[in-house]
Structure 1
Amino acid sequence: MSKGLREYAIVDIETTGGSAERSRITEIAIAIHNGVEEIERWESLVNPQQPIPPAIFGLTGISDDMVSDAPLFSEIADTIYALLKDRIFVAHNVNFDYSFIKHQLGEAGWQWQAPKLCTVRLARKIKPGLPSYSLGRLCDVLNIRVQYRHRAGGDVTATVALFNLLLAADSEMVFSQMLRKNGVVQRLPANLSQNTFDNLPVTAGVYYFHDRSGKVIYIGKAINIKKRVAGHFSGHNIQAKRQGFLQEIYDISYERCGTELMALLLECLEINRLWPKYNRALKRVEPRFGLVSYTGMDGYQHLSLTKLLKHQTCIQSFYSLREGAAVFRKMISDLGLDIRFCHFPLEVRLPQTANDLVRRIQDLPDQELYNGKVAAAVELAKADTSSYFIVDRGRDEQEKSCIWIENGKFYGMGYIPSESQSNSWADYKSELQRHHGNEYMMQLIESFLAKSNSRHQVITIDAEQLDEAAILKPVELRMKML
């Protein structure tokens, strides 16, 4: 492909901040390049209709007075659109400039999109191994003279010079390759290697985003790692948080898992271990609802499903109202509790049996017997001593995934050979990695099992079998297929 067949719009903007959603353009410069040389230049200050923060003024030198008489973006949008239309959009950290211009053109009534080239990505491919790929550092290393740094016109001049240098040095046809792969490659963060993305697996697992120093800044789980990672970079998100997040991604690592549940649990464990900067949601996961017991003024023991206050203790906690209501309804049904002493939040429908009960004082049960029944129910709810492990697919045909639950608590997980010669559950247990779980992980396991189908094998072990594990064989244990 001849580089002269298409024209390029090389662009730089200055803004009031990092978010296209909340910030505005204060200056724009566009250089039209025909693949050989620059053929046209246009630039303008822009009235952002909002104050320029002191830090931005300190960086760019653009003040509120300078832009007070400048045109509004809407007044020059037709000129900008005409310059960009049918041309390849080029910028240093291209997604930042592209997001602002696309957003403000859209506000002005122009629906525009264009193929993109990022000079950061081009420089990484054509000039690998440099200490930094910021525009200023590149210009220093490549002896490109820069005037009026952090002004749109000065930075466009520097970007044009860099663009020319990269065109001349492009012996491997990197420009053509990137334009052919424009849909995927130009959505990637500027500092992320295309090879790193291309080598991601399409299996279930956990992936890690690393910053420039190698520190993990985000952890995620996926059924298909490559597809999920690509999803982070797709779409047109103009929020400052996402733009900053993308600019910090320099590398991706991963760990394959046999199943989605294994990935979910590993994600939880790794977030708790590494505490990444951008994993805010799982860091703060706490039970929202709980089952509590109290003695009413009538002398009866009451049970109530309620929203938990901070540090409030309860009999059993739940991460959703739906989960808590289901457990509470089952407890009422299984243990024959009186609905008149069982309280749900207003938004929860009462069990069907409630319609058959008449709330009359003469129908109340014997107080001592009933309170004893409630006390037994509370102890039963507290004492979940079930032990089991979940056997499912491994990462390949030679192994199976295994999650061990002991006495109602997450004990550990790992992978066991598909054709193990062991006759002891203790041997299986010893092959698993010990982890300290939490209530949220148990909730994940229980929810996943409740929704799972017959692919998942749950092997239930009672206390005596655990004590006698050394003499037990797998076929002697009770198996339940969900």
Structure 2
Amino acid sequence: MLKNPTYTIIDVETTGRSNQITEISIFKFDGTTIVDEFTSLVNPNAYIPAHITALTGIDNAMVANAPTFAEIAKDVLNITENTIFVAHNVNFDYNVIRNEFKAIDIEFRRKKLCTVRLSRSLIPGLKSYSLGKLCKSLDIHISDRHRARGDAAATVILFQLLLAQENAEETFQKFLKRTSKEATLPPHLPSNIFEALPTKPGIYYFKNKKGKIIYVGKAKNIQKRVLSHFYNKAQKELDLCRETADIDFELSGSELVALLMEDAAIKHYYPIYNTASKRTPKRYAIFEYSDRRGVKHLAINDAKMIPNPIITFYNVRDCRTYIESLCMQFDLCPKYCHLQERVSECSHFLLETCKGICKHEEAVTTYNERVDKAIDHTRNASKNVVIKETGRTSEEEAFIIVKNGLYLGYGFIGHDLQISHTDELEDHLIKQKDNVDVQRILKKVLFSAASNNRNITTIAC
């Protein structure tokens, strides 16, 4: 532990979701005695919602003539200088204050200690570690609950009790180490839960105190990805971490299987902090039409406008990339594939596949035959495939089955099993539902140019 450390024990009240400070209280504590104090209402220059006023008692009239944070910033800097920043759920108070300083172009950095995490370590076994319930369990009186000075004063008494615990010095040293993640982890998440997370691909579940899944994510390295949530200072991430009390996981073996597992889990649990997979992505279609000469074109449009598309993707870039691959494979003309617009003859910087249709050097029927082959190839290429992926261990491999164009699911199979026909894989299949998000994931793998660099094998069923 630092030699003769000084602490500043801090609590802030805010406007709620926007988290502008409405009140701040700081007690400077030398380990034995309070040596200084700074407490002030703060004008947030923002509206205080009624539900926040009901909780804290602070209304818009009370802060109308209070100083802004910019006006008290020097006082906050001075009293916290060369101290350890202490708070109950320290990441919340610390990030709120740091963001206020950031708004006025001042960098704020202090060592941190969290009395929630310290209490869990030094006084284990309590039902709740919220400030109110913890103080009730320890017979600490709080006057003016949910006001900055009242909560900060109670935290000072709690902190004194923590300093007096049998293993306090060892615990404080551990928490203050530069390599320690104790100040980074969510206040209600036991460190052993985080340390047990693997560094392999898979999906992870953030759960609240009641065990309800509130977020599902996927990762190539689960532990590293989970840690990134704790370092992220976006308000959504701060809210997520404040509610997180447990983390579970499932290994996938590969990022692709993790993507599919994540989509299925989100659609099963509908976690409150997952939003992206709840939206229906816009689709774009590649379609065919013939011009006055009878030349067949391949073009791109909004899928809603195309009744019978050749294939759909979820962004225009993937459509263009796929058409480029068809041009190269079937010697098609970039002009008639709409990779070049408003040109009389094609002159694509990458594609030199055209055999002269745009210069009237090739018969229309001959060119159209190749277009038809490209269309047939596209419509049949992904109907029946098995995609092989890396397994969760070195003794197995993963597979994904698409049959008649529908995603059936994924599975894992040991290397020691002899599979003579792909139908036998279905005995090991973890069945899943097909949907537009899964189709988007799989089409990107099967058809985008980037998929050519992936170590996957497709086998006709």
TM-score, structure 2 normalization: 0.86
SS of alignment partner, residue 268 of structure 1? helix
Shift of residue 279, structure 1, vs aligned partner: 2.1
**Aligned residue number for residue 179 of structure 1:** 176
1:108, 1:304 → 2: CA distance? 51
The 3 A distance-change label for structure 1 pair 101 and 410 is same
Q: Is the 8 A contact 1:305 1:328 kept in 2?
A: no
1:460, 1:58 → 2: CA distance? 63
2:185, 2:388 → 1: CA distance? 37
Percent identical residues: 35
* Bigger shift: residues 151-160 or 278-287: 278-287
* Bigger shift: residues 181-190 or 157-166: 181-190
The answer to whether the aligner puts 1:282 opposite 2:277 as a matched pair is yes
Q: Is the 8 A contact 2:355 2:361 kept in 1?
A: no
1:52, 1:260 → 2: CA distance? 44
- 5 Å matches for 1:52-451? 52-171=48-167, 173-180=170-177, 183-235=180-232, 237=233, 239-284=234-279, 286-294=281-289, 302-309=297-304, 314-335=309-330, 341-344=336-339, 351=348, 352=351, 378-384=375-381, 387-421=384-418, 423-437=420-434, 438-446=438-446, 447=448, 450-451=451-452
* Bigger shift: residues 282-291 or 222-231: 282-291
Which residue identity is paired with 2:158?
A: L
Q: Is the 8 A contact 1:409 1:442 kept in 2?
A: no
Q: Is the 8 A contact 2:331 2:353 kept in 1?
A: no
**Gaps in structure 1 of 5+ consecutive residues:** 467-482
Which residue identity is paired with 1:263?
A: A
Shift of residue 234, structure 1, vs aligned partner: 1.4
Shift of residue 225, structure 1, vs aligned partner: 1.1
1:98, 1:346 → 2: CA distance? 55
TM-score, structure 1 normalization: 0.82
Which residue identity is paired with 1:152?
A: A
2:50, 2:307 → 1: CA distance? 45
Which residue identity is paired with 2:32?
A: V
- 5 Å matches for 1:35-50? 35-50=31-46
SS of alignment partner, residue 185 of structure 1? coil
CA displacement, residues 377-431 of structure 1 (integer Å, 9 cap, x when unaligned)? 5454333365443444322232222333434443332221222255554434422
Shift of residue 196, structure 1, vs aligned partner: 0.5
**Gaps in structure 2 of 5+ consecutive residues:** none
Which residue identity is paired with 1:443?
A: K
CA displacement, residues 278-317 of structure 1 (integer Å, 9 cap, x when unaligned)? 2222332535321123465777654321244489762210
Shift of residue 194, structure 1, vs aligned partner: 0.8
Q: Is the 8 A contact 1:81 1:105 kept in 2?
A: no
SS of alignment partner, residue 12 of structure 1? strand
**Aligned residue number for residue 28 of structure 2:** 32
2:109, 2:97 → 1: CA distance? 10
1:138, 1:312 → 2: CA distance? 63
Which residue identity is paired with 1:91?
A: A
Q: Is the 8 A contact 2:355 2:362 kept in 1?
A: no
2:375, 2:248 → 1: CA distance? 46
**Aligned residue number for residue 478 of structure 1:** none
**Aligned residue number for residue 9 of structure 1:** 8
* Bigger shift: residues 131-140 or 299-308: 299-308
1:457, 1:294 → 2: CA distance? 34
1:460, 1:384 → 2: CA distance? 10
Q: Is the 8 A contact 1:91 1:159 kept in 2?
A: yes
| Number of residue pairs the alignment of both structures matches | 452
* Bigger shift: residues 136-145 or 337-346: 337-346
* Bigger shift: residues 24-33 or 310-319: 310-319
The 3 A distance-change label for structure 1 pair 370 and 421 is closer
